[in-house]
Structure 1
Amino acid sequence: MPATTPTPVDSTPVPSAVRTPLVHALTAAVLLGCLAIAGCKGGPDAQAKGKDGDKKEEKAQEAVPVEVVAVANRPVAASYSGTAPLEARGESQVVAKTSGVALQVMAEVGQQVRAGQVLVRLDSDRAALQAAQSAAQVRKLEANYNRSLQLSRQQLVSANDLDQLKFDLENARAVNRLANLEVSYANVVAPISGVIADRSIKPGNFVQLNSPIFRIVDTSRIEATLNVPERELATIKPGLPVQLMVDALPGKPFQGTVDRVAPVVDSGSGTFRVICAFDSAALLQPGMFGRIRIDYDQRANALVIPRNALLDDESDPAVYVVRGNKAARVSVKLGYFDGEWVEVRGGLKQGDRVVTAGKVALREGTDVQVIGDPAAKQVATVAKTGNKP
C-alpha cells in the first residue's frame, strides 16, 4: 500500500495585535463573573443595610451643632446711655484784689479749705497808712461840722456853709471806708469751700491787682452734662436714678440722680442738656471720663432672651428656636433693651430654647445638635453602654 502522507501543521505565530484584545476580553469576563458571584452571596439584605448606613451617615453629617438658652423671666430697665466728662459742682479762681508782696502763703495744692479762710497775707503797710490818714481827716471834719452846727443855732453860720461841711464829712468817711477795705484785701480769702487744685504764688512774690493765685474746686458733688436727643424729652425727668462707670475705676459703679433738665432743645443739634449729680465719696474727680445710664422705666418680671440670639434683620426681628432637634425661625416682638438682654413682648413663651451660637448656618427645618444638652448627653451615654434608659 502506498504510504499516507501526513498533513502538515500550520506553525505560523499569531500576531500580537490580535492576541492583546483577546486577553483583555477574557480578563473582563472573569471579573464580571466574580462580581456577580459576590453580589449573589450578599443578597438583597446586604444591599439594603448598605443604603441605610449611608443615609444615617449623611443625616449625622447634616446636624448643625448649636448653643441654646432658655427663655426666662428677669427684671429689665428702659434706659438712655451716654458719655460725658465729670465736672466739679463749683469752681473758683482766687484773685488778688490789691497789689503787694506776699508775706505768707497758707495753702497748698490738694488742701481742703473752707469759704472765708485766709489763704495769703499781703504787705498792707501802705494801705494801713492811707486808712489812718483818711481817719484823721474824718475826725477833723467831724469837729468842724459839730462847731458849725452849734454856731448855726445862733445864726452865726449860713445854711450853705453848714451843708458844705456836711458833704465834705460824708466824702471823707467814704474815703476812709475805701482805705479800710484796701487793708482787708491784704488777706486773700477762699470764696468757696473746696480743694486747692492749683497754686501760682510763692512767699515773697509781688502780686498784681486781679492776678489769679489759686484755683479751688468743690468736689463734694460731681456733675456730668449729657446732650440727649429730643425724642427722650418726655421720658427723662429730674430725680431719675443714674448709674455711672468711669474708666479710671473699672468695675466700680456709682449711683446718682438726674439733678436738672434744660427744657430748651438746641435747634442745631436737636438735643437738650441733662445734668446728673453724684456724691464723690473722695473717689470721683473732675475730668474723669464717665459712662452714664439713666433708667426711666422698670419691669420686674419681663420675658427676656440674650441679645445675641437675634438674627441680623432689623426690619423683622426673629430668632431660631430648637423644636424636636430642628431649627424653627420665629418672628418676635421686642420691648426694652437692657445690656445683654432684650425683652420679648410676643412670639415666644417661657422655656423656649433659642439659639445663641451657630445660628449663621441654620435654615428653617435644619437638623441641630444642642451642645451641652442634658438630653443629648443621656442619649450618648445609652448608646455607649448599650442599656435602655
Structure 2
Amino acid sequence: MSAIASLGWRIARSLSSRVAPRSARNCMPRPLRRARQRALLSLVLPSAIALPSVLLLAACGQSPESAAREARAQGARARQAAKVLVAPVERADMTLWLETTTTVESEREIQIFPRASGHAVEVFAEEGDRVKSDQVLARLDRREQQLAVRDAEVALEESHAARKRAELTVPEAESKLRSAERAAAQAEVDYQRDVQLASQGDMPSSVSKRTLDASLLARDNALQTVEQDKLALRRAQFESEAAKTAIARAELALEKARVALSLTEVVAPFDGVIAKRSVKRGDAIGPAAAVFTLTDIESLRAVFYRPQREHGLFQSEMGMFARADGAPRDARTVPPLTVSATAEALEGRTFHGAVLRVSPTVDPASGAFRVTALLQRESEGAWLLPGMLVRLRIAVGEHPQALVVHKRAFSREGGQGHVLVVRDNTARRVEAEEGYSDDQRVELLLAPGAKLDVGEQVILVGGRDIEDGTLVDPESEHAASAPAPQHTASSQEAVDGKSGG
C-alpha cells in the first residue's frame, strides 16, 4: 500500500509539472504548491489503488464488471471525508471594550489646613473615624480670641448706651426749639406794637426811641435763639444717627472677633472618613501644614488617559455632544458609556460604573486625553477603597444582534479573512472581516456578495488543509465535548451476570 501511495505521489507531481510550467511553479508559494499536489493526489490515488485490484480480480477469474465495482468501492473508501469539528453561526450583541489599569480615587478627598496659628490643645478625630460636615476635629489655644470677643461685646453695649443718650437729646432740642419759636413770635408782636405807637404823629407818643430800639433788639435775639435751637436739634439728630453707626461698627468688630475665635477650630468641610491625622496635642500648627486628610469613600472614581486616536470613541461623553445647547450638566441626550472594574485584591468581584466626563483637549506632551469614570463601591459584600489598583474595561461601542462565530472558525490568508461553512457535507469558503470580538466569539462583516445564515455550521478544528469544495464529515462541538455515557448500577450488574454465566 505504501508503494501505491508513493506511486500516486509521483504521478501527482508529474501532473503538477504538466499543468503549470516551471516558471509559474517557481512564483507560486510553497504552501500553495503543496496544496495543489495534495489535490491532484486525491484524484490520482484512488485510481492507483483501484488499478491493482482490477488486475488481481480479473486474474482470479472475476468478471470485469464486478472487478470495476469493487475497485470503485475501494476508491470511495480511499476518498473518505475529512473529520471536522463544527459550531453554528449565531446572532449576539457584541461590544467593543477598551482595557486599561489605574488606581481608585475618591471624588472628594482634601487635605485640611488650620486657618490660624497656635498650639493644638485638643484633638477629637483619629484615622478611620467617620465625621460629619462642620464637626470639630481639633482646637487651638483660644484664650486671646475669647478675650477679644468679650471686649467687642462690651464695646457693643457701650454703643447701645450712647445711642440711647443721643436719642434723648433729640426731643429735648425739639422742646427748646418750640419755646424759642414762641418767644420769637411774642417779641415780634411786641415790636410791631411799639412801632405802631411810635408812628402816631398827631399826638404825643408814649413809646420812646429807646423803648423801640429795645423792642427791636429783643425780637432779633429771639429769632437768633430760634436759629440756634434749630442747629441744636439737627446736632442731636446727627448724634443719634452716629450712635446707630457706632452700634453697627461695634457689631462688626464683635463678628470679626467671633470669626477669629472660630478659626482656632479645625472643622470637617463635608461628611467623610479621616484618612490621615498629622497633629498631636501640644503641636504648634499653622496654615502652612496639613493636619488631616479627609476622604469621601462613598463617591469613588477612576481617572485614566487614552491616546488621542481613541478620542472619537468618547465623543458621546463630551459636554458638547452629550447635552443639548444650554442644557445643564445632568441633562444628557445620550446614555453614558459603561465601565466595569476588577481589583486583584478583590478577586472574583466586578464593580460597575459609567464615564462621568471626558476632557475636550489633548495633552500636547503625551498625546493623551483625560477620562474620569465613577465606580460603585460595593459588589457582593466586597468594598473598593481609594488607592486600590483596578483593571478597567470601558464599553465604547455596541453592535446589537451581530453575526458571530467562534474565534477558531475565523482565518486569514493573504490579508483576506474567511470562514469555512459546511454545506451538503462540503466545505465552502465565505469571505469576511472581523468586527467586534470577545474572549470566545468574533463578529463577521461579510464581504460584498458573501452569504452566511444563522444556524449554518462553520469549521472550528480540522480545516487547516481543507479548501473550498473539500468533502468533510462534520461533528458538532457540543457532541464532541459531551462525556461518554456511563452504565448505571443495574445495567452493570446485568452485564456482570451475563459474563459470569
State the TM-score, normalized to the length of structure 1.
Answer: 0.68
Aligned counterpart, 1:384: none
Q: Is the 8 A contact 1:78 1:298 kept in 2?
A: yes
Deviations 1:19-42 (A, max 9, x none): xxxxxxxxxxxxxxxxxxxxxxxx
Question: Which of these residues, 74, 83, 94, is aligned with residue 77 of structure 1?
Answer: 94
Measured after TM superposition, the shift of residue 103 of structure 1 is: 2.6
Q: Which structure 2 segments of 5+ residues have no match?
A: 1-54, 60-66, 174-231, 323-333, 482-501
Question: Which of these residues, 390, 411, 419, is aligned with residue 319 of structure 1?
Answer: 419
Measured after TM superposition, the shift of residue 358 of structure 1 is: 5.4
Question: Which of these residues, 264, 273, 276, is aligned with residue 186 of structure 1?
Answer: 264
Q: Is the 8 A contact 1:101 1:206 kept in 2?
A: yes
Q: 1:373 to 1:210 in 2, by over 3 A?
A: closer
Alignment: residue pair count:
330
User: d(CA) in 1 for partners of 2:464 and 2:127?
Assistant: 59
Determine if the alignment matches structure 1 residue 120 to structure 2 residue 138: yes
Q: Is the 8 A contact 1:245 1:251 kept in 2?
A: no
Deviations 1:158-183 (A, max 9, x none): 66666665544433322221111222
Q: Is the 8 A contact 1:82 1:226 kept in 2?
A: no
Aligned counterpart, 2:37: none
Measured after TM superposition, the shift of residue 349 of structure 1 is: 2.1
Deviations 1:118-177 (A, max 9, x none): 222322212111111222222223322332343355227466666665544433322221
Deviations 1:4-27 (A, max 9, x none): xxxxxxxxxxxxxxxxxxxxxxxx
Q: 1:196 to 1:64 in 2, by over 3 A?
A: farther
User: d(CA) in 2 for partners of 1:98 and 1:204?
Assistant: 15
User: d(CA) in 1 for partners of 2:429 and 2:395?
Assistant: 34
Aligned counterpart, 2:488: none
Q: 1:362 to 1:214 in 2, by over 3 A?
A: farther
Q: Is the 8 A contact 2:425 2:473 kept in 1?
A: yes
Aligned counterpart, 1:253: 350
Q: 1:376 to 1:94 in 2, by over 3 A?
A: closer
Superposed, 1:202-241 pairs within 5 Å as 202-209=280-287, 211-225=289-303, 229-233=310-314, 239-240=335-336
Q: Is the 8 A contact 1:319 1:354 kept in 2?
A: yes
Aligned counterpart, 2:375: 278
Q: Is the 8 A contact 1:243 1:253 kept in 2?
A: no
User: d(CA) in 1 for partners of 2:126 and 2:348?
Assistant: 33
Question: Which is worse superposed, 82-91 or 193-202?
Answer: 82-91
Q: Is the 8 A contact 2:341 2:392 kept in 1?
A: yes
State the TM-score, normalized to the length of structure 2.
Answer: 0.54
User: d(CA) in 2 for partners of 1:146 and 1:327?
Assistant: 110
Measured after TM superposition, the shift of residue 190 of structure 1 is: 1.0
Superposed, 1:87-102 pairs within 5 Å as 87-102=105-120
User: d(CA) in 2 for partners of 1:66 and 1:202?
Assistant: 75
Question: Which is worse superposed, 84-93 or 233-242?
Answer: 233-242
Q: Is the 8 A contact 2:128 2:273 kept in 1?
A: yes
C-alpha RMSD of the superposition: 4.2
Q: Which structure 1 segments of 5+ residues have no match?
A: 1-42, 378-389
Question: Which of these residues, 124, 131, 141, is aligned with residue 149 of structure 2?
Answer: 131
**SS class of match (2:107):** strand
Q: Whose strand fraction is larger, Structure 1's or Structure 2's?
A: 1
Determine if the alignment matches structure 1 residue 350 to structure 2 residue 350: no
Q: Is the 8 A contact 1:76 1:336 kept in 2?
A: no
Aligned counterpart, 2:158: 140
User: d(CA) in 2 for partners of 1:85 and 1:203?
Assistant: 34
Identity %: 27
Question: Which of these residues, 168, 172, 177, is aligned with residue 250 of structure 2?
Answer: 172
Measured after TM superposition, the shift of residue 310 of structure 1 is: 2.0
Q: Whose helix fraction is larger, Structure 1's or Structure 2's?
A: 2
